[in-house]
Amino acid sequence: MRKVLTEDLEPGMKVAKTLYLSDGRVLLNAGVILKDSYIDRLKKKDIPALFIADESLPEVEIPEVISDQTRLETSKLLRECMNDIELGNELNSRKIKKAVNEMVDELTSKRHVIVHLNDIRAYDDYTFGHSVNVTALSILTGISLGYNKLELRDLGVGSLLHDVGKTFVDDSILLKPGRLTDEEFKEVQKHSKKGYDIVKDAEGISMPSAHIAYQHHEKYNGTGYPRGLKGDEIIEFAQIVTVADVYDAITTDRVYRNAMPAHEALHVLEDMMQAELNPDIAQTLFKNIAIYPIGSLVELNTGEAGLVVDVNKEDLSSPVVRIISSKGDKSDQQEHDKIIEVDLMHNEEVEIKDVITDRTRKF
């Protein structure tokens, strides 16, 4: 299975992973053979990429941090809640807390899992899928920090609702692919305070959860908005969500920008530490992220290409790699049905030189 940009899709390719919209509808089922009409529909829906079956690569199971069912149900609930708010109705806090409790239970039962975020979203579904991912990342960070169940729930509720204020920002601004004007950016900035007002007025939701909506765009050095808070003036919950928010944003495919690979995204976050992000919290998040996710194609310093088939929790930069080609050709091992796997954590002579993308692949 490999991820292919929509612009590079061709008729005859087989869909490897069912594609859902945020309302739970299936857009394309796994196993469907692509036709021109299907590709056109993906483009009209602004789907940036698709998982495609690839018989030339070994099948590997990519672990899910949260199940597709949890992801879809939570995303659908968030859409419904934001629609209710737009209509002037109250936030359904009971359903939100129930969904977050279920996510907390699921994530605490998988507390040693490493994040391999690999969902694909339609352009106009970005807010919902993004909020679910940010919630999962935030809860995992909270687990690593030793939070109890109540703290994880409050963190999760605030994470899920951190962008709820965007309900009052015009879609033409939210979905604009280019740079925002100063006036447009001022409109976007209002969503933090609006979100805070919505969440704090909801029955049964804690003030720390509300302050996540208010503070998730504050920066550690005081250059954020809306109040220019800095350091410990920003509650820890919000600092966690800020890191998760940035990571998911830059590792997600958008119509106007390809997703950044995890190893590059972590370098970006490292550059932001001390100034914009709390370094301790960023480092805690890093411990839960697969630098080279399972299913990644990598080029080794030996000239061989390999497929990441497992990760080492003790050293996330040194996964287990299955050799699949040598200098662009099929390796002798593969042709003779021999499987050679190299655990980079225990082989200091072999290391990853680069990540192979669909466009740079030569085999």
pLDDT for position 43:
87
Question: What pLDDT does residue 118 have?
Answer: 59
pLDDT of residue 336: 43
* Residue 153 burial (10 A CB sphere; 0-12, 13-18, 19+): buried
* Separation of alpha carbons 194 and 311, rounded Å: 41
**Which has the closest alpha carbon to 208: 220, 190, 196?**
196
Q: Report the alpha-carbon distance of residue 207 to residue 201 in Å, rounded.
A: 9
Closest CA relative to residue 100, chosen from 125, 131, 130, 127 = 131
**pLDDT of 145:** 97
pLDDT (0 to 100) of residue 331: 46
Q: Where are the beta strands (DSSP E) in the chain?
A: 2-5, 19-20, 26-28, 49-52, 297-300, 304-310, 320-326, 329-330, 341-343, 352-356
Domains and CATH numbers, the chain: 2-52 (3.90.105.10), 68-286 (1.10.3210.10), 297-356 (no CATH)
CB 248 within 8 A of CB 134: yes
Along the chain (363 residues), what's the average pLDDT of each consecutive run of 10 residues? 84 91 82 95 84 83 82 90 91 95 92 67 69 94 96 98 95 85 95 97 96 98 97 98 95 76 91 94 93 90 93 92 73 58 94 80 61
Confidence (pLDDT) at 352: 95
- Residue 46: its pLDDT value, please? 78
Owner of token pair 């490493």 = 114
Amino acid 327: pLDDT: 56
Q: Give the model's pLDDT for residue 257.
A: 73
Q: What pLDDT sits at residue 333?
A: 45
At residue 3, the pLDDT reads 77
Which pLDDT does position 239 carry in this prediction?
98
Q: Using an 8 Å Cβ cutoff, are 271 and 282 in contact? A: no
* pLDDT at site 203: 93
What the block records as the tokens of 88 is: 């002037």
